[in-house]
Structure 1
Amino acid sequence: MVETSSPLVAPPPNWWKPAGREEKLWIGIAAVWAVSMFVMMVIIWPAIGGQQNQIHSYRVDPSEFQAYTAAFIEEHQTGELEGVPVVSPPPDTDIFLQASQFQWTPVLELQRGETYRILMSSIDVQHGFSLQPDNVNFQVLPDFITGLEMTPNETGEYTIVCNEFCGLGHHLMVGQIIVVD
């Protein structure tokens, strides 16, 4: 006969068996591993890291950010690439990078070894900033500026890809950062 249990009847006492020696060993190993990974993530990596990007966020009206970007382009434009303005701002300055369906504006021409603060925002929908091939990723949202300090170390052309679906032309949303000596 099969015995069934009922929530109204208490289970028999000591229905479980105490953990054996090997089980206790594996529980101990798992606990030590969990604590060590927690300490690594919270204390050690931030202390020795440098791999964590320090970003800043500010609220902004999209039309206000669009005006900042237009003024920035007007002041620093050096050319045009496929209809998109190319800017070459001086080092240690704020750079405005605008995301809109389906374009990054402007193309940035930066000096190798110099530090810049890139201020990004969207004027319409949520976008994703992905700098390839370096795998730097951020969310770019309307009503917010995402600020990132950047010091390019190698010359070359870097692609900015929108990695957040933003509409039917999402696959066309590609920008560029050109690093020169």
Structure 2
Amino acid sequence: MPLRHVFRFALALAATAAVTVPAAGQEPDPIFKKSTVWRPLTPNDKLAVYGIDDPLVDGVACHYTVPEKGGIKGGLGFAEEVSDISLACRQIGPVKFKAKFDQGEVVIKERRSLIFKTMQIVRGCDAKRNVLVYLVYSDRVIEGSPKNSTSSVPIMPWAPEGTAPRCADWVKG
């Protein structure tokens, strides 16, 4: 078998491997997908909605929507996905921090192309307002994308505790 065929096989195998790298090994939960472009004989283009819990902050969940290309390239995992990603994060229970974190720390990182493009959700803290801030963006090895979305989670008291922790107490530095 020629070396170029071995390389192509290895590349195809890598493309089918896990493409999501959450900070704590958690896979996002698929919520639903909605077709946006019908394609005969190949997979449709879709919008896919996923949910993920913040691995370092109990009581916070995020939902994000990503476009997924269909067609032959999309079906085989070779299509480069666009950077149009939306994000919404909410407090879903009492907030409990598991560890200190850096501003802009990665919550989840997911490939959006075979090699060069990734999507990242990062977390920060607005200490003045006691609000967790989540940002989703895509980047490339050579050139990034200005497309992004931000979601804020005000940390509120949750019965029966009655007091809310301060996110500033959990930011490193």
Common fold, TM-score beyond 0.5?
Answer: no
Larger RCO (CA under 8 A, 6+ residues apart): 1
Could you say which structure has the higher helix fraction?
A: 1
User: What TM-score results when the alignment is normalised by the length of structure 1?
Assistant: 0.29
Structure with higher Rg: it is 1
Could you say which structure has the higher strand fraction?
A: 2
